[in-house]
Amino acid sequence: MSAVTELVEQTRQFVIDHVIPVEREVVVDGRVTDDEMRLDLQKKAKAAGVFGPLSDPRYGGLGLDTRGQAQVLEAAGASLLGPLAVNAWAPDDGNIHLLAHVANAEQQERYLAPLASGEVRSAIALTEPAPGAGSDPRMLQTTAQETDTGWVINGAKHFTTGANGAAFIICVAMTTDGPTMFLVDQDNPGLQVGRRMRTLDHTSAPGGHCEVNFADCEVSDAAVLGQVGRGLELAQVRLAPSRLTFCMNWLGLAVRAQQLTIDHITGRHSFGVPIAEHGLAQGLIADSEIDIAAARSLVRATAETIDIHGPTSPQARHETSIAKTFVSEAVWRVLDRAVQLHGALGVTEDHLVARFLVEARAFRIYEGPSEVLRWSIARRVLRGPR
């Protein structure tokens, strides 16, 4: 048994023993997903030896390449709270990767080390209310004005995931040289975390999706992440891995939903036989199995591309766009069939698949809506042979 295969089994067992019982408390009993829960689950993940699939061993992580992550995170994704428990949930997953590749030594010590070890959470503030940046980051309205002592940031953001309780926020703002990323500490008086927006997905992570305002927010030159004017270019470092991490995590939930459905229809009878013996039910199960197999193959092939060519390579950008589009829609189909095959019980959260479906809906929008990704895929294809 390889080390990764063994780690997959450890992760699967950890999710069964420690995460799924808490998931039921959240979904069925209404327990709030907060940092106390996160820290407790991550403590247990560390004890089980499954913490940090995305982190370097010097921060207590597992030091896996993307191909290893694909297998381990599918196992962790079997629960809505599994990726959070192993410190591989958005936006920290992408921010860990970004800081590891872009931050200088001092920034890595101050921001990456506690984030990768699970001591703190983070957020990234890019999306803005209209007419600001959304799917098109070039519409950035937030500004950063250079001063004698550093920078002053002004602007409004929303859908800033994890902002409530984040130790720091990576703010993308426009400077005279172009978009730039800034590290802004939680206690900065110019940073105001506002309303937690009421969204379909509210179970899987603390911090919510928040409105954030930067009002005469003063930061020093040391707060610049990467180079001034290269913010959007450098943000590409986190984009491909983050998109694929989403795919890994949600694929794991689809696999679990499929198994829950199989268990249900083999034990539930209708018209004198188990539901599993009805041809129409078998057709839905087969379609879900096909979607899962295709999604898994696509995720693992794309993971190999990232490992070989790098996360900012044209190959990685193209293949992660394809993977994210297909997997997000395949997962939705699997979860929708799971609800259908559970019948009336499928729309109650007692059987979990209803909450799975609702939580997964945003997957087709976050990190690039399917329509935008299709547009970018087509543009690259139409430019000619690669």
pLDDT one-digit tens code per residue, 189-221: 999 999 999 999 988 889 999 999 999 999 999
The span from the CA of 306 to the CA of 162, in Å, is: 26
pTM for the whole structure: 0.95
Of the candidate CATH numbers 3.40.50.300, 1.10.540.10, 3.10.270.10, 3.40.1190.20, the domain formed by 3-99 belongs to: 1.10.540.10
Three-class DSSP labels, 89-146: CCCHHHHHHHHHHHCCHHHHHHHHHHHHCCCCCEEEECCCCCCCCCCCHHHCCCEEEE
**Residue 50: Cβ within 10 Å count:** 26
The span from the CA of 291 to the CA of 280, in Å, is: 17
Look up tokens 């920290």; give the residue.
Answer: 92
Predicted local distance difference test score (pLDDT) of residue 202:
87
CB 211 within 8 A of CB 197: yes
Q: What burial letters (b/e) apply to 202-218, b meaning 16+ CB within 10 Å?
A: bbbbbbbbbbbbbeebe
Predicted local distance difference test score (pLDDT) of residue 385:
66
Residue 341 DSSP label: H
Predicted local distance difference test score (pLDDT) of residue 386:
56
Phi-psi region of 242 (alpha: psi -120 to 50; beta: other; left: phi over 0): alpha
Provide the residue ranges of all domains of the chain, joining segments of one domain with +.
Answer: 3-99, 122-229, 232-382
Residue 197 DSSP label: -
The span from the CA of 339 to the CA of 61, in Å, is: 36
Of the candidate CATH numbers 3.30.70.1230, 1.20.140.10, 1.10.533.10, 3.30.750.24, the domain formed by 232-382 belongs to: 1.20.140.10
| Regions of the chain where pLDDT drops below 50 | none
Amino acid making up residue 99: L
Same CATH topology for 3-99 and 122-229: the answer is: no
Fold held by 122-229: Butyryl-CoA Dehydrogenase, subunit A; domain 2 (2.40.110)
Q: What burial letters (b/e) apply to 331-369, b meaning 16+ CB within 10 Å?
A: bbbbbbbbbebbeeebeebebbbbbbbbbbebbbebbbb
